[in-house]
């Protein structure tokens, strides 16, 4: 009985979600909450509770271990964690969170709660007066980038969007809009399906099963043999060519019709038993279902994600991380992804290039970055120039952050010219069309939290420069770096230094309004100069390890 009910749910779920609809948003209204976790279809369970952190086998970093780090390392680890999640806090807020003594568990708890006003977020990103809506340039991908920017809290909805974003960057779920056979809505359907199923506590086997059976997936891998081969390789790391004809046979009645690239499942299905995954299968549904139930599945998907987050670990180190995760018996994407992100291995020992999304979204929150209508179209295009295009590639981002000269220079150029050297004009705050609305806002330099009273010019300048360094690259300026700026911005004898003409943070004027403006203008010049230098540092572009 439960099989029949469940099978109907699968089919209905696939239809609704596959068509780009939202599926159900209310929490399983017709289902008893406890019985939900026992629903299965031929052995494939649909829903799972996420593992509690206490059951993670890849050792997580605890609050007390975090608190025992040096101040410098606390800042580094906190920013590494937040930027990995595409998030950040202004320096003052971050300091107080770090000082709370429960930074790690607070973040974990925030990710369990629903605090974002979803309705507001969704309506904001579709407001064409603030976010350009176009029929070109894959608006669907642009909306996803805009959403990540608009969400202003770390919460469960944020996490589900982040998970969906990460998965759609990989070979497993890339909507692959570069292909002729894929269409723009596939971006939305693949991504939203994951978000919706995560909201419903869908397990990763079920989410993958639904994805593999979808038209979106068939638009990427388009013949029975191709689709079968790739699913085996992508999710099980199975490259045995002798398995391919078996998969092709099971999928013999599946076809991507050229008319609107429509997936058609014919009635001419295979009816002879086939041996695969240590069991008997007959048709495509059997193939996809038994594939996700296979023992190799968890190994395959964990490997994919470990590669994504630990690109510079040796094979031995990666295997160790992977095996620890697998031993915790993960059944949800969150079980793997948060286990990685909160682990000591990741937070303390991992060094890798930071993705452009990690750099952009975290910086945006920290420097109170203001967007204009076209900002996210521009970001999407720039990601393509960096060869970090979102959801574009047929095989996903196997190399998440290419650092060849051309890719990196485009990355640098974007961060330097479109983010760090752009100051938002406060007079244009209501004019989203204005070019000079884009950039860091005056709040970034106004709210530095520094008490300038009783400080000399030199001490004040040092404090301000260090504030910019700490906000953006989580460290203070070195002695040599500081001296370079002091030489340029100060003159006069030691102990009685004065600002050179355009950097006077304390310029006076009889008109108090003018005085404020003059001082902020000076701070702005200092900031741009410091950021010009910071853009040239690899600290801006890497997730560092703790030394």
Q: Do 143 and 149 meet the contact criterion of CB atoms below 8 Å apart?
A: no
Which residues, including other chains, have CB under 8 Å from residue 527's CB and lie 6 or more apart?
423, 440, 444, 445, 468
Output the smallest distance, CB 106 to other proteins, in A.
Answer: 31
- Which tokens sit at 455? 């400080």
Cα 329 from chain centroid (whole Å): 24
Q: How many CB atoms lie within 10 A of CB 277?
A: 22
Rounded to 5 degrees, what are φ and ψ at 290? -70, -30
SS (H, E, C) 227-283: HHHHHHHHHHCCCCHHHHHHHHHHCCCEEEECHHHEEEECCCCCCCCEEECCEEECC
Nearer to other proteins, 62 or 381 (CB): 381
Q: Do 274 and 282 meet the contact criterion of CB atoms below 8 Å apart?
A: yes
Output the smallest distance, CB 473 to other proteins, in A.
Answer: 11
Output the smallest distance, CB 272 to other proteins, in A.
Answer: 12
How far from 462 is each of 355, 415, 482, 538, CA to CA, in Å?
Answer: 30, 24, 7, 22
Which helix (H) or strand (E) covers residue 190, if one does?
helix 184-199
Nearer to other proteins, 159 or 477 (CB): 477
Nearer to other proteins, 93 or 263 (CB): 263
Nearer to other proteins, 31 or 537 (CB): 537
DSSP per position, 18-48:
HTT-----SS-TTS-HHHHTT-EETTEE-B-
Output the smallest distance, CB 477 to other proteins, in A.
Answer: 10
Output the smallest distance, CB 370 to other proteins, in A.
Answer: 19
Nearer to other proteins, 193 or 397 (CB): 397
Output the smallest distance, CB 82 to other proteins, in A.
Answer: 21
Nearer to other proteins, 427 or 538 (CB): 538
DSSP per position, 89-155:
--HHHHHHHHHTS-HHHHHHHHTTS--S-HHHHHHHHT-TTTS---SSS-HHHHHHHHHHHH--S-S
Output the smallest distance, CB 546 to other proteins, in A.
Answer: 14
Output the smallest distance, CB 394 to other proteins, in A.
Answer: 6
Nearer to other proteins, 68 or 240 (CB): 240
Nearer to other proteins, 367 or 526 (CB): 526
Nearer to other proteins, 136 or 513 (CB): 136
| Share in percent of the chain as helix, strand, coil (round to 5) | 55, 5, 35
Measure the N-to-C terminal CA separation of the chain; round to a whole number of Å.
Answer: 58
Give the span between the Cα atoms of 345 and 92, in whole angstroms: 28
Output the smallest distance, CB 321 to other proteins, in A.
Answer: 14
Nearer to other proteins, 138 or 155 (CB): 138
Output the smallest distance, CB 353 to other proteins, in A.
Answer: 7
Bridge partners, 459 (sequence order): none
């Amino acid at each position: 009985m439960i099989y029949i009910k469940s099978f109907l749910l699968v089919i209905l779920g696939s239809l609704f979600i596959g068509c780009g609809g939202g599926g159900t948003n209310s929490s399983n209204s017709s289902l008893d909450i406890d019985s939900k976790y026992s629903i299965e279809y031929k052995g494939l369970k649909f829903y799972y509770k996420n593992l509690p952190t206490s059951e993670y086998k890849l050792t997580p970093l605890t609050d007390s271990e975090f608190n025992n780090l040096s101040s410098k390392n606390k800042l580094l680890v906190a920013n590494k964690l937040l930027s990995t999640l595409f998030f950040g806090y202004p320096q003052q807020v971050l300091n107080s969170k770090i000082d709370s003594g429960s930074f790690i568990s607070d973040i974990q708890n925030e990710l369990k709660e629903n605090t974002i006003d979803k309705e507001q977020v969704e309506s904001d990103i579709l407001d064409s007066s603030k976010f350009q809506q176009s029929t070109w340039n894959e608006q669907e991908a642009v909306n996803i980038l805009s959403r990540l920017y608009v969400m202003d809290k770390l919460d469960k909805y944020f996490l589900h969007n982040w998970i969906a974003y990460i998965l759609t960057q990989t070979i497993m779920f890339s909507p692959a809009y570069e292909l002729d056979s894929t269409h723009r809505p596939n971006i939305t359907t693949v991504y939203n399906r994951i978000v919706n199923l995560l909201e419903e506590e869908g397990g990763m086997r079920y989410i993958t099963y639904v994805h593999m059976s979808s038209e979106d997936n068939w638009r990427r891998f388009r013949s029975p043999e191709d689709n079968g081969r790739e699913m085996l390789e992508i999710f099980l790391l199975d490259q045995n060519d002798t398995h391919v004809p078996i998969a092709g046979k099971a999928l013999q009645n599946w076809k991507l019709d050229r008319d609107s690239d429509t997936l058609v499942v014919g009635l001419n299905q295979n009816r002879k038993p086939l041996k695969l995954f240590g069991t008997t299968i007959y048709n495509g549904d059997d193939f996809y279902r038994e594939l996700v139930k296979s023992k190799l599945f968890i190994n395959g998907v964990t490997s994919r994600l470990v590669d994504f987050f630990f690109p510079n670990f040796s094979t031995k180190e990666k295997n160790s991380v992977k095996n620890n995760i697998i031993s915790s018996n993960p059944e949800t994407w969150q079980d793997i992804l948060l286990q990685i992100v909160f682990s000591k291995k990741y937070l303390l020992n991992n060094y890798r290039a930071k993705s452009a999304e990690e750099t952009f979204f975290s910086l945006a929150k920290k420097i109170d970055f203001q967007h204009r209508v076209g900002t996210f179209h521009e970001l999407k295009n720039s990601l393509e120039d960096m060869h970090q295009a979102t959801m574009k590639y047929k095989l996903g981002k196997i190399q998440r952050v290419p650092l060849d000269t051309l890719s990196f220079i485009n990355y640098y150029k974007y961060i330097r010219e479109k983010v760090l050297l752009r100051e938002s004009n406060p007079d244009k705050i209501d004019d989203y069309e204005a070019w000079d609305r884009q950039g860091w806002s005056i709040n970034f330099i106004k709210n530095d939290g520094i008490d300038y009273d009783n400080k000399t010019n030199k001490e004040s300048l040092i404090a301000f420069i260090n504030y910019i360094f700490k906000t953006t690259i989580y460290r203070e300026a070195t002695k040599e770096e500081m001296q370079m700026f002091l030489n340029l911005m100060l003159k006069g004898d030691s102990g009685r230094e004065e600002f050179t003409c355009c950097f006077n943070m304390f310029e006076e004027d009889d008109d108090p309004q003018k005085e404020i403006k003059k001082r902020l203008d000076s701070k702005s010049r200092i900031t741009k100069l410091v950021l010009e230098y910071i853009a040239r540092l690899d600290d801006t572009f890497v997730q560092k390890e703790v030394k």
